[in-house]
Structure 1
Amino acid sequence: MRNYGNGVPASSIEGAAWHKARASDAVGNCVEVAKLGNGDVAMRNSRHPDGPALVFTRAEVEAFLQGARGGEFDSVTI
């Protein structure tokens, strides 16, 4: 089982099944995620599917999601 580092070309992640949120816009602007075989999670920009992927551990993703659900990032304006 291969471990991938941050910045690896997303297209080089073998067997990745990328998932896009249903809330993504009509032109595909979204972050896509793929669960890796070792439990890590890769993320890529859907506009650049061959571009770099960020790879996070399961614990890092869980902490981020918990923070997002808890409003910790509400101060970030879009």
Structure 2
Amino acid sequence: MPLHIRGSETTEAVRRLAQARKLTLTEAVKTACEEALARDEAKQPVSERLAAVHARLRAARKTGESADKAFFDREWGE
């Protein structure tokens, strides 16, 4: 799916990034987007970033296993 960028300032910024990092224009756009998303994610509180993990753990069925030293030794093959 083609992406049409309108705006000479935006086009120039993508070209400068591509040239500075020796990337194609497509790679430059992808890199810029991924880095911006990573920065946004890093700004979220840890509790929000871990919410999905916590929800999965709460939903997991109980095994009845005891998580003591013997359990972990057995899991690690010791």
Q: Which has the larger radius of gyration?
A: 2
TM-score (norm 2): 0.26
Structure whose residues are more often strand by fraction: 1
Flag the structure with higher helix content: 2
